[in-house]
């Protein structure tokens, strides 16, 4: 656990404007942040340059999505090359909202992961089951299948963070218990050990997302296989600082 640097991502989703995000950025820039935690903020694409130029260099920036090729006639899309050109080093891929609101398939997400990594972006790759899948007892089957497609498209795992986000816990106020989160993270690590390698299983950061707050972050962070968080709503509030400092 000690060898995996704690990672806290904030996914701002389609929220904020220059004024409100500027205030949030000022809060983060002046906050005392745990120096052993890597922090990355996922900004709306139109604000990537603004976020990168305004945020302190110790805080990374991520795009929330990208396409699978460098350029072309793909109206409304952005490429890893454009993201890099804004000085941004990360992208979130496979978020449940991309999967379930916008209909992105495992195959497309895999292609995006491959191209982003080839373009030297770090990838926060998201997986997670829906409520009916958990209730049907197929959580492992679902997350292993999603992870398999990601794994098939990764050559260098050092540029990847795996985010387990149970869909039933995103924005619902329901959080997986620390024990539920730890159980899935531990099983994912075992899957990686069996299907990728022991080194990757030991070194890959597996982070939890789904209604993480200042109130529950410390207990979640104490779990041995929870290496950080991908935070939604709370990442737009001052309490994001407390979540960043969950291991402090």
Domain CATH code at residue 157: 3.20.20.70
Strand partners, 209: 230
* pLDDT at 1 (0 to 100): 46
Joined together, the tokens standing for residue 136 give: 């049907």
Q: How far apart are CA 131 and CA 152, in angstroms?
A: 26
192 part of a folded domain: yes
Give the domain extent around 118: 6-245
Reported pTM: 0.97
168 part of a folded domain: yes
* pLDDT at 173 (0 to 100): 85
Enumerate residue ranges in the chain where pLDDT < 70: 1-2
199 part of a folded domain: yes
179 part of a folded domain: yes
Q: How far apart are CA 81 and CA 97, in angstroms?
A: 23
The two most distant CA atoms of the chain are separated, in Å, by 48
The residue among 247, 244, 246, 212 whose CA lies nearest residue 31 is: 244
What is the number of domains present in the chain? 1
Residue/partner pairs of 22-26 with CB below 8 Å, 24 or more apart: 22/54, 24/236, 24/240, 25/51, 25/54, 25/55
193 part of a folded domain: yes
Q: How many helices (H) and strands (E) in the chain?
A: 11, 8
* pLDDT at 137 (0 to 100): 96
139-151 vs 178-195: helix crossing angle, rounded to 10: 50
1 part of a folded domain: no
Share of the chain above pLDDT 70, in %: 99
The residue among 200, 126, 202 whose CA lies nearest residue 166 is: 126
Which residues are the active-site residues?
A: 95, 165
Q: How far apart are CA 120 and CA 155, in angstroms?
A: 12
* pLDDT at 4 (0 to 100): 97
């Amino acid at each position: 656990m000690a060898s995996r640097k704690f990672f806290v991502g904030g996914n701002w989703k389609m929220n904020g404007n220059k004024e409100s995000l500027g205030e949030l950025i000022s809060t983060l820039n002046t906050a005392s942040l745990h120096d052993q935690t890597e922090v990355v903020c996922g900004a709306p694409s139109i604000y990537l340059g603004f976020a990168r130029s305004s945020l302190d260099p110790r805080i990374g920036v991520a795009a929330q999505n990208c396409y699978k090729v460098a350029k072309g006639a793909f109206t409304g899309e952005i490429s890893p090359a454009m993201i890099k050109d804004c000085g941004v080093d990360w992208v979130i891929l496979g978020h449940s909202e991309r999967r379930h609101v916008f209909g992105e398939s495992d195959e497309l997400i895999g292609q995006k992961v491959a191209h982003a990594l080839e373009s030297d972006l770090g990838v926060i790759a998201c997986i997670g089951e829906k409520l009916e899948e958990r209730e049907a007892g197929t959580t492992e089957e679902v997350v292993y299948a999603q992870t398999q497609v990601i794994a098939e498209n990764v050559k260098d795992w050092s540029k990847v963070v795996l985010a387990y986000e149970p869909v039933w816990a995103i924005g619902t106020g329901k959080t997986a218990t620390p024990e539920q989160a730890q159980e899935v993270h531990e099983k994912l690590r075992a899957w990686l050990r069996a299907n990728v390698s022991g080194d990757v299983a030991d070194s890959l950061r597996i982070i939890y997302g789904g209604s993480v707050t200042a109130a529950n972050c410390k207990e979640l962070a104490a779990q041995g296989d929870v290496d950080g968080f991908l935070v939604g709503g709370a990442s737009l509030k001052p309490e994001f600082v407390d979540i960043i400092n969950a291991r402090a």
